[in-house]
Structure 1
Amino acid sequence: MIFVKCIVKVLGKAILGFIAFVVLYFLVEAILSRIPGYKIAKQDQPKDIAIYVMSNGVHTDIVLPVEHGVIKWFSIFPFENTRGQNPNQHYVGIGWGDKGFYLNTPEWKDLKLSTALVAALGMGETALHVTYYHSVQESDMCYKVMIDKNQYNIIKDYILESLDTDSSGNPIYIETTAQYGEHDAFYEAKEAYNLFFSCNTWTNKMLKKANLPAGLWTVFDKGILRHYENLR
């Protein structure tokens, strides 16, 4: 009987500890995501490059011109690696995340506990998800931002530094049938996904580096999008 009481007591404390952690986690995120993580800088160069911050309701991507003086993205992520193999595309959306989520969880109904635990604990691999678009429409989930060449270079370098490469320095294409459409592909990435560094944290960090609207820290798409809602 004493043993059972001890077990119940330990379990009770563990459950209360877990609940306290979850409440604190969401509370800290709600606070820090509302604090601007960028500064309004003096405009030294013309902001003549249009990019987009896009969300699918859970995950954020940065959407860039396919071809610009800074870089031709199709030379890094060939159109041939998509099912459609259509070169008539004007924008490329790039996001980072847990490889297991990307490849094994096309919809939330497909989520397995094992996939979630591996991602949350930072034990899985990561990938870049690259999607080509012919056109992009602004909406409550997609915000247009004008940036300068300096900011574009920062974004470009951040993305390239997130890529895992082979011995020749080339991106490693992930051969899979898990594409979400005709115009997307996956590539091996660096860094580890975990409870404190999610796909949206990756996007948020990039935006902060480029001195674009972003929260101090966030793991959710809303933590980024609210800063763009306020600009309209």
Structure 2
Amino acid sequence: MVARLVRIARAVLGWLALAAGAWMLSIWIGSSIPRNPAWTEPADGVEIMVETNGVHTSIVMPKVTPVKDWRDDLPVSDIAASRRPYTHVSVSWGEREVFLNTPTWGDLSPLTVLRIAGIGGEGLLHVSHYVRPAPAGDIRPVRLTAAQYARLVRRIEGYLPPREARRSHPGYGDWDVFYETGGTYTFTNTCNQWTSDTLAHAGMRIGWWTPLAGGVTKWVERP
């Protein structure tokens, strides 16, 4: 009886390892196939940044350009430290429960993971305000034409409810805030997929399927 249970356990573990390997291979393949393959970075235009903490990615944009002034849509009055000379805004999308109730990855509940895997979760927008962010390995600059940046702006604007109907939640610090938005977070439609979909909508070359942060950042050169 014990030997049989051991064989069953080994078989289950083997199938789980095979499934995990197949999933990781599909992620590598999907993130390596480019959208907008003919795109090249322009010499002139608007410099944005792709930011990562190794797990989650976001898009950093100048607060004010001739294309877009974010001060009305993403006001500093929504954050605690509103008097700093902010120059940029960082925008990302993710799962509500993870954003609001998981200050560190060690706080992530297995029940939350199972729920997201089963039925998904509600989307939430995360906005941070920065003062002159310096290019680095975890915040990589890339340039878009004015027209490409305008498409990126319109895509992000579509996730912002009107000011009068907007609901917000405190962020992790005094420089950031969460906004209620739409969309369903799943393991195939992740925060990193949102980032690459937004960049692809602008016309930038980026992978097709990027559920992990590395699938996004590998398309943006280190400074």
Alignment-derived partner of residue 83 in structure 1 = 80
* Structure 1 vs Structure 2 CA RMSD: 2.6
Alignment-derived partner of residue 23 in structure 1 = 21
Deviation of 1:15 after TM superposition, in Å, equals 5.4
Query: Pick from 172, 175, 199: which aligns with 2:169?
Result: 175
Partner Cα distance (2:156, 2:216) in 1: 18
Deviation of 1:67 after TM superposition, in Å, equals 1.3
**1:7-62 deviation per Cα after TM superposition (whole angstroms, max 9, x unaligned):** x96x877655544332211110011112222222489x873211101111111110
Q: Is the Cα–Cα contact under 8 Å of residues 48 and 147 in structure 1 kept in the other structure? A: yes
- Alignment pair present for 1:155 and 2:147: no
* Long gaps (5+) in structure 2: none
Deviation of 1:71 after TM superposition, in Å, equals 2.3
Secondary structure of 2:219's aligned partner: helix
**1:98-155 deviation per Cα after TM superposition (whole angstroms, max 9, x unaligned):** 0111111111111111222223334321101000001111111111111111111111
Alignment-derived partner of residue 37 in structure 2 = 39
Alignment-derived partner of residue 51 in structure 1 = 48
- Alignment pair present for 1:222 and 2:219: no
Would you tell me which structure has more strand in proportion to its own residues? 2
Matches within 5 A, 1:1-232: 17-41=15-39, 47-86=44-83, 88-163=85-160, 165=161, 170=164, 172-176=166-170, 179-229=171-221
Partner Cα distance (2:117, 2:199) in 1: 23
What is the identity, as a one-letter code, of the residue corresponding to 1:201? Q
Percent sequence identity is 28
Using structure 1 for the length normalisation, give the TM-score: 0.84
Greater mean alpha carbon deviation, residues 32-41 or residues 214-223:
32-41
Partner Cα distance (1:42, 1:61) in 2: 21
Q: Is the Cα–Cα contact under 8 Å of residues 213 and 228 in structure 1 kept in the other structure? A: no
Partner Cα distance (1:171, 1:128) in 2: 15
Deviation of 1:171 after TM superposition, in Å, equals 5.8
Residue correspondences, number: 220
